[in-house]
Amino acid sequence: MLEYTAEMAGPFSSVTTTTTKKKKNKNKRRFSDEQIKSLESMFESETRLEPRKKLQVAKELGLQPRQVAIWFQNKRARWKSKQLEQDYSILQANYDNLAAKYESLKKEKQALVIQLQKLNDLIKKPKEEAQCCRQVTATNRNDGDKGETTVKSDSEGQLSFSMGRSEHAPGVLSDDDSAIKTDYFRPEEDPNLMSMVDPGDDSLTSPEDWRSFDSNGLFDQSNCGYPWWDFWS
């Protein structure tokens, strides 16, 4: 590296030569390590120099005050872009974190929907059995009406449900009864129930889950001034 001497840092007329309309600084030299070190340490304490201090620094380092001012200008610009890069990587990390969380919740939701569907299928079974075995169940019409839901296992190990309901006539499951039952457990036809598993709905997870998610204040609206979701719009 070329050493930058005090002579090199002389007046601008000696550093630049006006050949064309646009000035070309033919003898541009980098500042010495010593000068850079000194300027860096000053920049750490204050990113802006007062005019008086600038003159003093220029004198100490053998530079033109204009050169010191320009160095601070460029330094501020470099510092700003570096800061921007850092902010970007923080945002990127937070986004990746959020995306992973979203994927995991999506899977969890899918599993729950499948589970719900299976339960729904199980609920439908007793209805079919009730239709083909009406006569048999008629003999037991007074059994099991305790206002409770019971689960029974048949000889083949299949589960079957029955719901005792005190507000209805006791006894066998009528067509109406079973219709009511399946209505209770038919999420695809129940907007309220379906809203719980709607892909666009986050209500499946507790708000605490989201609150506990540490975004390092990324989406703190008091900082941004606009909702975080606008970030992607």
Partner DNA sequence: GACACACTGACCATTACTTCA
Partner DNA sequence: CGTGAAGTAATGGTCAGTGTG
Q: Is 177 near DNA (CB under 7 A)?
A: no
| Shortest distance, position 23 Cβ to DNA, whole Å | 4
- Site for DNA, residues 23 to 42, rule: CB under 7 A: 23-31, 36
DSSP string computed for 94-117: HHHHHHHHHHHHHHHHHHHHHHHH
Beta bridge partners of 151: 161
The one-letter amino acid at 115: Q
| Residues near DNA (CB under 7 A), total | 33
Q: Is 88 near DNA (CB under 7 A)?
A: no
- Interface residue with DNA, options 76, 106, 107, 134 (CB under 7 A): 76
Q: Please tell me the distance from the alpha carbon of residue 85 to that of residue 1, in angstroms, as a whole number.
A: 29
Query: 1 vs 132, which CB is nearer to DNA?
Result: 1
Q: 150: part of which helix (H) or strand (E)?
A: strand 149-153
Return the structure tokens found at 79. Answer: 């510092």
Query: 48 vs 146, which CB is nearer to DNA?
Result: 48
Q: Is 59 near DNA (CB under 7 A)?
A: no
**Cα 9 from chain centroid?**
52
- Interface residue with DNA, options 5, 12, 140, 217 (CB under 7 A): 12
Do 142 and 171 touch, CB atoms closer than 8 A? yes
For DNA, the binding residues (CB under 7 A) are: 1-2, 9, 12, 15-16, 21-31, 36, 48-49, 51, 66-67, 69-71, 73-78, 80
